[in-house]
Structure 1
Amino acid sequence: MRALLAVTLLVTAGHAGSTGIAVQPYGSTTAGAAVEKVTLTNDRGMTLGFIDYGATLISATVADRNGQRRNVVLDLPDLPAYQRSTRKWGAIIGRYAGRIGGARYTLDGKTVALQPNARGLTIHGGPPGYEHRVWQRRDFADRTSLGAVYTLVSPDGDQAFPGKLTLRVTYRLLRGSDEFRIEYEAVTDAPTVLNPTNHAYFNLAGAGSRGIGTHRFRIAADRYAVTDDNRVPTGELADVRGTPLDFRQPASAAARLKTPSPLLGDPPGFDHSLVFAKPAGKLAVVAVVDDTASGRRMEIATTEPSAQFYTANAFDGKEVGTSGTAYQRYDGFAFETQHLPDSPNQPAFPTTVLRPGEVFRSVTSFRFSTKR
């Protein structure tokens, strides 16, 4: 009740119409923890929704060329569906997004043994994943934005990683433009590695739309991480030139999936780490995605050096969204801004080491507009 009262005060502090923050119960986990759903609405009518479970992004409603708003984030219908799923829909991933080869790394002369999966590597930090935890939340509203700050304390030894980590993730919706930001901040009390991301899937034609055939991608990446048979980086960063991964000029990912390529596998799919051509740590636009059907455009800017570009290759129709549509292969895409997988074992990659006294900070923004 206290959280709901705080929201009421934020909404009535001089903001017209439905602009503000709405909080609703979203059920309880199987362990009995209460979960709430937050919906932000800005001055233009864009909404952003998320839940405490996994600090999971569940919706972003943005206008098409005719002013009609639809949710462009692939979602699930309720909390039990999120608890059952292994696809990490819209959740915050940690302690380490992506693969760590051999489920181990060495830091300061000490080998850290992580939790291996069936292939002998660690993916997305290993269990229990951050996506299956209830995060603590503090809502806020200021002159230019409104949102929530989520906090998760990951104790020393959690997922076998050293150091007590305190991670804060802010979802921020700008009042005057159709843009939201995900801001990360973390500290540790012992040397560790950290690589958080958000695992949202998008379809700019609207969640539940079939395929991404009407999408065109421009990605400012000139290199990609070469991987082995387990999709663990070898350490080589190869030129995208002449490969299906070259999106430096706008192109259709769906069209490229129809052309056989050893780089895309069989069945074909994008699931690659793309390295941006920009100064380290600078917030810069790294991707522009246009949906020719709706006219929606999404510009992604980040301080991160790379992203995992994934075209929902493993979707199999077994999970159904709020729209009532079962998600099939290629029905969305993920663009997970992050550091490179296996960086703790690849000294030539940008470092993911975090030490006591340091503060990890990262920002990714998603700005929406329309194109005729």
Structure 2
Amino acid sequence: MTRTCLLLALLAAAGQGRCTGIAVQPYGTLANGAAVEKVTLTNDRGMQLAYIDYGATIVAATVADRHGRRRNVILDLPDLAAYQRSTRKHAAIIGRYAGRIGGARYTLDGKTVRLQPNARGITVHGGPPGYEQRLWRRRDFADSASIGSVYTLVSPDGDQAFPGRLTVNVTYRLLRARDELRIEYEAVTDAPTVINLTNHAYFNLAGAGSAGIDTHRFQIAADRHAVTDAKRVPTGELASVAGTVLDFRQGASAAARLRAGDALLGEPAGFDHSLVFAKPVGRLAMVAAVEDTASGRRMEISTTEPSVQFYTGNAFDGGERGSAEGSMGRAYQRYDGFAFETQHLPDSPNQPAFPTTALYPGEVFRSVTTFRFTTAR
């Protein structure tokens, strides 16, 4: 029989889940009095995934090492107030447009749209207020193969200066039989617009609060990267990664390359690059595998997206600027984690050679990214 999610007031009041494997509990209250809840999913293998309604933010993914010991591999913050203070967008949904848009404007169908510029005259992650600062509406579900929640956000016409009323659904789905998180995106608009959604999670497979990523090896099936200008806005050129520090096709240590330094990594050295996958746009395919050689934890990433923003936590500063202290009580330092933001390329609305990010009425934007956790022997 199909498992259904029943709203049981008694169990909810007791802090228990509405569905098998789902627990819901209060997480805090916003200044306007709105309640924020935390959902914790537990699959048949014991993996747990937790997220909160504020920003549709993932706050934990607890997975086993080669000895069966479980740790949270998402860099998290201690409470709701910390998430509200932070500018790091920890594991939240980013929109309406993840990444940079040069000149804070774009032209679509002959109409120029002027966006909100930052101090450098560009738009980053859609501009304020970001989707990570919104309270998303949630519906929990359970079926024979998975458990999870669907988050919905309505972004009105003119929100962040983008045209069109955009309705976004983001599904967090934890598979019951294996340790795999699926993030499924869907959106519709009532006017021509552009869209680029991602999740801004930082990972450390040794466990949140661990220092550095020295024991991590990265294999990324990307054969090109977006060349950028001084403001890190793409120029339109997609250059080969061959012979550069951005070539992870055979697997390598990002930490070793950071220590060695390179002109492509800037000063101080840091990965913050758009890598283009060697697969057809829209096809769900495995694009990366990351392994922590110390714990044996391995994360395999598949996506329908054409590229990734690969970032090594270069701006973490031990809490000197903004809230950066994790729930383990240790402030995050530079390179304490990495982000793997599957998405379309930055500045695509201004780069006709890039895969389009335009969305029109009557169309449905769909995207899927999966994170499968296993162990290496």
Aligned partner of residue 258 in structure 1, secondary structure: helix
Q: Are 2:96 and 2:195, in contact at CA under 8 Å, matched by a contact in 1?
A: yes
Aligned partner of residue 299 in structure 2, secondary structure: strand
Matched, 1:363 2:364: no
Using the size of structure 2 for normalisation, the TM-score is: 0.95
Name 1:252's counterpart in structure 2.
Answer: 253
- The equivalences for 1:31-180 within 5 A come to 31-180=32-181
Please give the alpha-carbon distance, in whole angstroms, between the structure 2 residues aligned to 1:32 and 1:332.
Answer: 33
Q: Are 1:298 and 1:366, in contact at CA under 8 Å, matched by a contact in 2?
A: yes
Matched, 1:290 2:294: no
Q: Are 2:8 and 2:18, in contact at CA under 8 Å, matched by a contact in 1?
A: no
Name 2:28's counterpart in structure 1.
Answer: 27
Greater mean alpha carbon deviation, residues 119-128 or residues 2-11: 2-11
Matched, 1:346 2:351: yes
Aligned partner of residue 257 in structure 1, secondary structure: helix
Structure 1 residues without counterparts, runs of 5 or longer: none
Name 2:338's counterpart in structure 1.
Answer: 333
The change in CA–CA distance for 1:12 and 1:274 in structure 2 (over 3 A counts) is closer
Structure 2 residues without counterparts, runs of 5 or longer: 1-5
Name 1:197's counterpart in structure 2.
Answer: 198
The change in CA–CA distance for 1:74 and 1:12 in structure 2 (over 3 A counts) is closer
Please give the alpha-carbon distance, in whole angstroms, between the structure 2 residues aligned to 1:155 and 1:82.
Answer: 24
Aligned partner of residue 23 in structure 1, secondary structure: strand
Residue 259 of structure 1 and its aligned partner are, at CA, apart by 1.3
Name 1:185's counterpart in structure 2.
Answer: 186
Q: Are 1:137 and 1:149, in contact at CA under 8 Å, matched by a contact in 2?
A: yes
Please give the alpha-carbon distance, in whole angstroms, between the structure 1 residues aligned to 2:128 and 2:312.
Answer: 24
Matched, 1:279 2:251: no
Q: Deviations over 1:82-107 (max 9, x none)?
A: 00011000000000000000000001
Using the size of structure 1 for normalisation, the TM-score is: 0.96
Q: Percent of aligned positions with the same letter in both sequences?
A: 78
Aligned partner of residue 83 in structure 1, secondary structure: helix
Q: Deviations over 1:164-203 (max 9, x none)?
A: 0000000000000000110000000000000000000000
Residue 67 of structure 1 and its aligned partner are, at CA, apart by 0.2
Q: What residue identity is the alignment partner of 2:266?
A: G
Please give the alpha-carbon distance, in whole angstroms, between the structure 1 residues aligned to 2:216 and 2:11.
Answer: 37
Please give the alpha-carbon distance, in whole angstroms, between the structure 2 residues aligned to 1:107 and 1:63.
Answer: 47
The change in CA–CA distance for 1:346 and 1:328 in structure 2 (over 3 A counts) is same
Residue 134 of structure 1 and its aligned partner are, at CA, apart by 0.2
Aligned partner of residue 320 in structure 1, secondary structure: coil
Aligned partner of residue 255 in structure 1, secondary structure: helix
- The equivalences for 1:289-308 within 5 A come to 289-308=290-309
Aligned partner of residue 236 in structure 2, secondary structure: strand
Name 2:217's counterpart in structure 1.
Answer: 216
Runs of 4+ in 1 over 2 A off after TM superposition: 2-13
Query: What is the aligned length?
Result: 366
